[in-house]
Chains A and B, each alone.
Chain A
Amino acid sequence: GENVEQHPSTLSVQEGDSAVIKCTYSDSASNYFPWYKQELGKRPQLIIDIRSNVGEKKDQRIAVTLNKTAKHFSLHITETQPEDSAVYFCAAREGNNRLAFGKGNQVVVIP
């Protein structure tokens, strides 16, 4: 099955700086890559997603890039704010319609 890995496990950034989280996946047939944000004690919520026919997608301060050849995709957060502090999970949709999640990245924005 699909194997999704995230790096780094923890990322600290100064408020206003950019944060980048990278994920790799193993199954070249995967065609959908969402990112979920989970604040402490709360449920995961979708923040952005990308399909395999697109290389980049942007929504205000967040963007996702996809490199199908290298089988990796990244989340970019610009002008980070304290409310961006959370755990971010990437996922890849497997051929059987399941999502395989990475283990998560803890992002800490330092005011």
Chain B
Amino acid sequence: GAGVSQSPSNKVTEKGKDVELRCDPISGHTALYWYRQRLGQGLEFLIYFQGNSAPDKSGLPSDRFSAERTGESVSTLTIQRTQQEDSAVYLCASSSSGTTPNEQFFGPGTRLTVL
């Protein structure tokens, strides 16, 4: 079946502009995660959605970052007034349940470059 998909694959934007990144999780997966990976670095947790529960936003680095998820489907990560330090690969992952340990399946990521 189809895996996690993300769009766009690459995004180049100018400092100060807003960007919207999209994630389509695997169908039926109730848990969805966003991570940021700077060049040569690890995976930095941003936000976690589990079913209809309130999202865990504790990893968002500033109020310029926000994310939404429609039911148990598509999620969008929005970065307002982008800064150069926002340049990174943004990875989305989904799993069949967030309440029991399960494999997280990652999307291919969106490479964001802020000029």
Question: Is A97 part of the binding interface, using a Cβ–Cβ cutoff of 8 Å?
Answer: yes
Q: What total of chain B residues lie within 8 Å of the partner, measured CB to CB?
A: 20
The answer to whether B43 touches A44, judged by C-beta atoms less than 8 angstroms apart, is yes
A32 in contact with B43 (CB, 8 Å)? no
Closest Cβ of chain B to A2, distance in Å, is 10
Structural contact, A101 and B107, CB atoms closer than 8 A: no
Is chain B's interface secondary structure helix, strand, loop, or mixed overall? Answer: loop
Establish whether residues B43 and A45, one from each chain, have CB atoms under 8 Å apart when the complex forms.
no
Which residue of B42, B48, B107, B108 contacts A97 across the interface (Cβ within 8 Å)?
A: B48
Query: Residues of A within 8 Å of B, CB-based: how many?
Result: 21
B101: chain A residues at CB < 8 Å are 31-32, 34, 49, 51, 93
Q: Which residues of A contact B (CB under 8 A)?
A: 31-32, 34, 42-46, 49, 51, 89, 93, 96-104
Give me the interface of B with A, judged by CB distance under 8 Å: 31, 33, 35, 41-43, 45, 48, 50, 56, 91, 98-99, 101, 103-104, 106-109
